[in-house]
Amino acid sequence: MSTLLDRPFLKMNGLGNEILVLDLRAGGGPVTADEAMALARDRDTRFDQLMALHPGRGGADAFMRIYNADGSEVSACGNGTRCVAWALMRESGRREALLETAAGPLVCSAGDAPDQITVDMGAPRFGWADIPLAEEFADTRAIELQVGPIDAPLIHSPSVANVGNPHAIFWVDDLNVVDLRRVGPMLENHPIFPERANISLAKVTSKSALTLKVWERGAGLTLACGTAACAAAVSAARTRRTGRDVVVTLPGGPLRIVWRESDDHILMTGPATLEHEGVIRADMLPVAA
Ligand SMILES: N[C@@H](CCC[C@H](N)C(=O)O)C(=O)O
């Protein structure tokens, strides 16, 4: 019998990025790839990312494990982190939450407007081995990428960044210059990315604004990706396309991203929305072998 049976969940979204918050603090898990894929397909629990909460250690409100819809486990999810923080703040009545992840702690605080949450996403990494890339690049502000049948010339020099997970940002004048649904899988699985990568098309609209479309590793085209917004914002600032305080507008809506000079940390602010709550039923889970 699955250890997830009867565990409570919250179905949420962060700007339309579908998030399932699964509470395993009373026991259960780790979530298997088959369980994650089954829950991702169910009408009630459908998700782009599953955030599994386990008991927190060392003062943290919870330890969090993150899964993509394809069952792969990852170490960062910006929109999901805001949803988890919202849920923990609702439970505790406090205006902040501390989450522990395999990649380190995440400090979250309630914003001034209702349902707005700020997450300190930590410092970005730009070294080629940190992304990671399969070969050495001295300058990751623009790497040369040879991809087969893509006809738009600008598509071949993305900026790359790791904000807890790997991202490639292709600077374009028109977000529809290529069909991301078609080229996304090719770029996500390009041999230069040994751990695959999240792929964004980014358009700079002013010194303080970007628009973004994202093909997510392990989840496909989504309405929003918080870490992609962070990666695009720091890459835009790093290449002098923008300043360090920007609004990144995704198909699901805007996120404010500030890349703080004093400690290099990225602060992401945006909404978290509750859709419904429930408990995991047997029919949502894979049939036992
Ligand atoms: N939607 C997320 C990113 C989730 C993880 C990503 N697909 C990966 O595999 O790294 C976000 O809001 O950051």
**pLDDT tens-digit profile of 53-63?**
999 988 999 99
**pLDDT number for residue 154:** 42
Does residue 150 register a pLDDT over 90? no
DSSP 123: -
Instruction: Select from 17, 77, 131 the residue to mutate for testing ligand 1; criterion: most ligand atoms less than 8 Å from CB.
Output: 77
Res. 149 pLDDT band, cuts 50 70 90:
low
**pLDDT number for residue 146:** 78
Which SS3 state, helix, strand or coil, does residue 272 take? Answer: coil
C-alpha triplet 163, 196, 48: angle, nearest 5°: 75
Higher pLDDT, 183 or 231: 231
Q: Report the pocket of ligand 1 as residue ranges, CB < 6 Å.
A: 17, 48-49, 68, 74, 77-80, 165, 198, 216-219, 222, 225-227
Mean pLDDT computed over 238-267:
98
Res. 148 pLDDT band, cuts 50 70 90:
low
The ligand 1 atom at the shortest distance from the C-alpha of residue 227 is 13
CB atoms within 10 A of CB 44: 15
According to CATH, the superfamily of the domain at 153-262 is Diaminopimelate Epimerase; Chain A, domain 1 (3.10.310.10)
Same fold for the domain at 8-121+273-284 and the one at 153-262? yes
pLDDT tens, position by position, 22-55: 999 999 999 999 999 999 999 999 999 999 999 9
Structure tokens at 246: 């920007």
The ligand 1 atom at the shortest distance from the C-alpha of residue 164 is 10
The residue from 77, 83, 108, 230 that is catalytic is 77
Structure tokens at 272: 């978290």
What is the rounded end-to-end Cα distance, in angstroms, of the chain? 10
Encoded amino acid at 231, one letter:
A
Does residue 221 register a pLDDT over 90? yes
Structure tokens at 263: 């400690």
pLDDT tens, position by position, 91-147: 999 999 999 998 899 999 999 888 899 999 999 999 999 999 999 999 999 998 877
Mean pLDDT computed over 76-90:
98
Q: Compute CA distances 164 → 56, 129, 161, 232, whole Å.
A: 20, 13, 9, 13
> So where are the chain's domains?
8-121+273-284, 153-262
Bridge-based pairing of strands 198-206 and 209-216 is antiparallel
Q: Is 165 annotated as a binding residue?
A: yes
Structure tokens at 27: 């026991």
Partners of 267 in the β-ladder: 120, 258
The ligand 1 atom at the shortest distance from the C-alpha of residue 79 is 12
Q: Compute CA distances 192 → 65, 80, 123, 180, whole Å.
A: 26, 27, 23, 18
Mean pLDDT computed over 75-87:
98
CATH of 8-121+273-284 given 1.10.3720.10, 3.10.310.10, 3.40.605.10, 3.40.50.880: 3.10.310.10
Which SS3 state, helix, strand or coil, does residue 80 take? Answer: helix
Residue that the structure tokens 């978290």 belong to:
272
Structure tokens at 97: 């939450």
Lowest mean pLDDT among 78-82, 152-156, 195-199: 152-156
Q: How far is the CA of 194 from the centre of ligand 1 (A)?
A: 17
Q: Compute CA distances 178 → 113, 137, 153, 169, whole Å.
A: 36, 26, 11, 14
Encoded amino acid at 37, one letter:
M
Bridge-based pairing of strands 220-222 and 253-259 is unpaired
8 Å CB contact between 164 and 195 = no
- DSSP secondary structure of 211-226: EEEEEETTTEEES--H
Mean pLDDT computed over 253-271:
98
8 Å CB contact between 5 and 286 = no
pLDDT tens, position by position, 273-286: 999 999 999 999 99
